Structure 1
Amino acid sequence: MCSGSFAKCLGITLIPLAILSVLCNILLLFPGGKPAKNNEDITDEAWYFGGILGSGVLMIFPALVFLGMKTNDCCGCCGNESCGRRCAMLFSVMFAGVGLIGAGYSFIVSAVAINHGPKCLINGTFTYPFSDGNYLSNQTMWEVCEAPEGIVSWHLGLFSTLLIMGLLQVVLCGFQVINGLIGTIFGDCCCGGSGK
């Protein structure tokens, strides 16, 4: 498969992952699926916007660059047909780096949020009752949260989804770094099969 075609496939895959990450982060701003009474009711890590900024906005740019790799013309430069394509592949490596940073940020924020646990109402005050991740193996501890209803499973489900999305995006952007370097060094199989 041409490195440009492979990059396009990666771009097609990254777009829905970015959209899903943005949606998960937006849902985190509605604890338990209901509007928060004030911003202090929302888990701090939701405000770090790992899904919106990291796996969302910072992932859209690489995805769009990867999508354009297959249709990028091979007009070349300095009389060398493959030069333009090689420059484009090198450019995609830089954008894959941006994607790695964004996905890595989202992954780290999600991992910290899962370990930290959700913010919930206990004795009339919103606080973090699970500070060391011990609630993950002991579901009976979840009952200490009086409100919002189902906040622990809501928190875990959405941040776990963001964690998985971030990991997938890291892997896909990592593949594009390798693919882009191969395309830069060896050329792409465009222009009637002449990649070099």
Structure 2
Amino acid sequence: MCTGSCAKCLGITLIPLAILCLLCNILLFFPGGKTVDNNDHITDEVWYFGGIFGSGVLMIFPALVFLGLKNNDCCGCCGNESCGKRFAMFTSIIFAAIGVVGAGYSVIISAVAINRGPKCEMLGSGNFSYPFVEGDYLSNHKLWDACKGPGDIVTWHLTLFSMLLVMGLVQVALCGFQAINGIIGTICGDCCGCCGSSEGA
């Protein structure tokens, strides 16, 4: 497969992932699917915008760059027909690194949030706090009863942050793959470049 075509496939995959990460982070502002009247009742990690900036907005830029690589004009650069395509592939390595940083940030935030647990209304007190001790609730569902709400906050928290974690890891893998693909494209050029077609014309 041509390096440009491969990059385009990666870009097509990254865009829906970025949109889903955006949506997950937005939904986390409604704990348990409920609207809260005090922003202090929202889990702190939601405000770090891992899914909005890290795996969302920041991921759109690499995705668009990857999408454009296949149609990049590679001819007539400094007398070397293929150097334009090679430079584009080199540039994609930089954007792939940006994607890895953004998705990695989202993964770290999500992992911390899952381990810490949600901020919720404490049963019997009415105060909002973190009732769980570093991941203990993950293996003991009986502890979930410590949260009165809002809604089914623990399931909501775990589901959305787990989705962000998984999608972030997929994005890291895809951007890492494009970095390798970009190195190959920089060294070897695109096997389907316009130079080959111009020679045969």
Q: Percent identity?
A: 72
Tell me which residue corresponds to 2:3: 3
Tell me which residue corresponds to 1:22: 22
Does 1:89 find its partner at 2:89? yes
What is the alpha-carbon distance in structure 1 between the residues aligned to residue 196 and residue 175 of structure 2?
26
Tell me which residue corresponds to 1:153: 155
Mapping for residues 168-183 of structure 1, pairs under 5 Å: 168-183=170-185
What is the deviation of 1:49?
0.3
CA contact (8 A) 1:76 1:85 kept: no
Does 1:66 find its partner at 2:66? yes
Tell me which residue corresponds to 1:191: 194
Following superposition, which runs of at least 4 residues in structure 1 exceed 3 angstroms of deviation?
none
1:130 alignment partner, SS class: coil
CA contact (8 A) 2:106 2:164 kept: yes
TM-score by length of 2: 0.95
Tell me which residue corresponds to 2:127: 125
Cα deviation 1:95-121 (Å, max 9, x = unaligned)? 000000000000000000000000001
What is the deviation of 1:74?
1.4
What is the alpha-carbon distance in structure 2 between the residues aligned to residue 162 and residue 68 of structure 1?
26
CA contact (8 A) 2:7 2:178 kept: yes
CA contact (8 A) 1:117 1:152 kept: yes
RMSD (Å), alpha carbons: 0.9
The 1:132–1:193 alpha-carbon spacing in structure 2 relative to 1, beyond 3 Å, is same
What is the alpha-carbon distance in structure 1 between the residues aligned to residue 24 and residue 194 of structure 2?
42
Cα deviation 1:133-189 (Å, max 9, x = unaligned)? 000000010011011121000000000000001000000000000000000011111
**Structure 1 stretch displaced more, 3-12 or 129-138:** 129-138
CA contact (8 A) 2:3 2:185 kept: yes
TM-score by length of 1: 0.97
Unaligned runs of 5+ in 1: none
CA contact (8 A) 2:9 2:67 kept: yes
1:81 alignment partner, SS class: coil
Unaligned runs of 5+ in 2: none
CA contact (8 A) 2:116 2:132 kept: yes
What is the alpha-carbon distance in structure 2 between the residues aligned to residue 77 and residue 127 of structure 1?
61
Task: Give the letter aligned to residue 46 of structure 2.
Answer: A
What is the alpha-carbon distance in structure 2 between the residues aligned to residue 57 and residue 115 of structure 1?
25
